Amino acid sequence: MLPGHERYQPQSLVPYLDYASTSKWWANVEIAALEVMAKGGHFNPALLTTELQQAWRTIPMAEVDKLERKIGHDIRAFVRLMKQLVSVHISNPADVALLKRFIHLGLTSFDVRDTAEVLAIREATCDVILPLIRQLMDILITISLNEAETVQIGRTHLQHAEPITVGFGLSQIVHRLGTILKELERATLALVGKISGAVGAYNSLSLIDEDPEQFELDVLAKFDLQPALISTQILPPEPLAMLYNLMTSGSQVLANWARNFRRLGSTEVGEIGRIIDPNSVSSSTMPHKTNPVTEENTESLARVVKNMYGVVLDNIISEHERDLCGSASSRFALMIPVLFTYQLERVIKYFDRFKLNYDRIAHNFVLQGDLIMAEPLYILLELNDYPGDAHEDVKQLTIQAREQSVSLMSLAEASDKMKPFIEKFTDAQMAVLLNPVTYTGIAPLKVKKVCAYWQGQLGLL
C-alpha cells in the first residue's frame, strides 16, 4: 500500500513508493556498498549472485516488521534477514561467513534509508510525475490554442472585470505548471545521497577503506547520484524538502484550477461542463445532480498536501548529529508525491469529458452591458485632455447606469462635460467602446506566445 488513505492509491507509483517495495530500495543500497567492498578486495564479487541479490530485493516487509517488533530496529532487522538468505543461496560455509561479515559493515541505518528514499523519490518523479505534468500541459495547451480567441468575461474578486479569452485563462495554468515542471527537473538533479556513517564523519568507513569519501562516491555512482558535501547521521534535509515544496506548489496550482473551474461550472455561471456519464451518480437522493467531484476532490487533497509539507518543514530541525523527533512523522512525507500524482491523474481524466458551454459564455459576457468598458472610457478621456478626475466621473456614471438600467456610453455621450472629449475619439477608439468583445488587449496573442514557448520546452513543436 502507498502512504495515505486507501482511496487515494495511484497505481503508477506502486513500483516506487509502495511499502512492499521498500526492501528493494534498501537492498539496492546495501548491494552497491557490497559491490564496492568486493571491488576493493574484501571478498570475491562472484558471491553476489543474481539470485541472491534478487532474494534480498524481495524480502517481505512483513518479515522485516515482525523482526523489528522483536529487536526494535528496522534496518538491523533487514540486515539479519539478508544474512539469513546468504546461507540459503551460498553453499560454502567459509564464503557464507565471509559475506555475512561485510553486509552493512561500516554503514549506518540512514546511509541506507535516506539514500534509498532519495532513489525512490527521484525515480518516481522522473518516471511518473514529470510525464503526468507534461501530459496535462499538452491537454491544456491544445484547449488554450483552440480557444485563444473565444471571448470571455474576466473576473476579479468574483466580479465581472474586463474581457479576456478562454484560452488566456487556461494558459495561466499552462505556464504555472510549466514552471513547476522545470523546477522539479532541476530539483531531482540536485538530490544527493550519503554513505558517511553514524555521525557523517566516516568514522567506521575509515577503518574499512583508506579513502572513505571515494568509497562513498563509488557506491553512489552506481545510482548516478552525488554525495552530500557534508552530512550528519542523516542527509541535509533541504534538497528533498525543496522537491516536496515544488510538488506542494504544483498541488496548489491544480487546486487553483479546480477552484476556478468549479465556479465556472456552477449552475449560475455554467460556462463549462462535462459530457454526462450515464453510469455516474452524484447524489444518493437527487437524481438530477452532476456535482464537480474532480474539482472538489482536487482542492480537498491540496489541503492535505499543504499540511504534509508543514511536517517536512518541522523535520528540517534535528538536534546535533540526529534525533528521533522527526523519524515517525517523516514517514508520512511520501503522501506529498502520492497525492500530487493522484491529483494529476484525476485532472487528466477529467478532460476526457470536458466541454465548453459557448452560449453561457456569451450570455454572461453581456450581463453588465457596457459597464465593463468603464476603464477604456476613462483612459481615453484622460488621453484627450479631459479636465478633472476622469476615473471618478466615469465611476459616478456607472452608478447611474446601474440605477437607471441604461448603457454607460449613452450617459457619457449625453454628458455635457464628457461629450466634447468623446467627439475627439478616433473611429477605432469608438469602435472598441461600442463593441466590448474587441477589448481583449493582446490576450489571443499572449495565449499563442505562452503555448508556443511551452510547446518548445516540451518538445511538442
Grid cell of 321 as nine digits: 548529529
In the block, cell 483612459 appears at 379
Per-residue pLDDT of the chain (461 residues; tens, 9 = 90+): 999 999 999 999 999 999 999 999 999 999 999 999 999 999 999 999 999 999 999 999 999 999 999 999 999 999 999 999 999 999 999 999 999 999 999 999 999 999 999 999 999 999 999 999 999 999 999 999 999 999 999 999 999 999 999 999 999 999 999 999 999 999 999 999 999 999 999 999 999 999 999 999 999 999 999 999 999 999 999 999 999 999 999 999 999 999 999 999 999 999 998 888 888 888 888 888 888 999 999 999 999 999 999 999 999 999 998 888 888 889 999 999 999 999 999 999 999 999 999 999 999 999 999 999 999 999 999 999 999 899 999 999 999 999 999 999 999 999 999 999 999 999 999 999 999 999 999 999 999 999 999 999 999 87
CA separation, residue 100 to residues 29, 53, 205, 304, 435 (Å): 16, 13, 17, 43, 82
Angle CA 208–211–214, to nearest 5: 110
The model's pTM is 0.95
In the block, cell 537492498 appears at 27
Strands 192-193 and 159-165: unpaired
Calpha distance 116→235 (Å, rounded): 11
Calpha distance 291→288 (Å, rounded): 10
Calpha distance 188→275 (Å, rounded): 38
CA separation, residue 318 to residues 116, 206, 314, 329 (Å): 20, 25, 9, 13
The pLDDT tens digits for 238-281 are 999 999 999 999 999 999 999 999 999 999 999 998 888 888 88
- Residue 454: partners with Cβ closer than 8 Å, 6 or more residues away: 137, 141, 174, 175, 178, 460
Number of DSSP helices (H) and strands (E) in the chain, helices first: 22, 6
Largest CA distance in the chain: 108
In the block, cell 466615469 appears at 394
Total Cβ atoms within 10 A of residue 214? 12
- Residue 422: partners with Cβ closer than 8 Å, 6 or more residues away: 381, 412, 413, 430
Grid cell of 260 as nine digits: 476556478
Do 306 and 248 form a contact (C-beta atoms < 8 A)? yes
Angle formed by the axes of helices 443-458 and 166-189, to 10°? 30
- What are φ and ψ of residue 369, in 5° steps? 60, -135
The pLDDT tens digits for 177-220 are 999 999 999 999 999 999 999 999 999 999 999 999 999 999 99
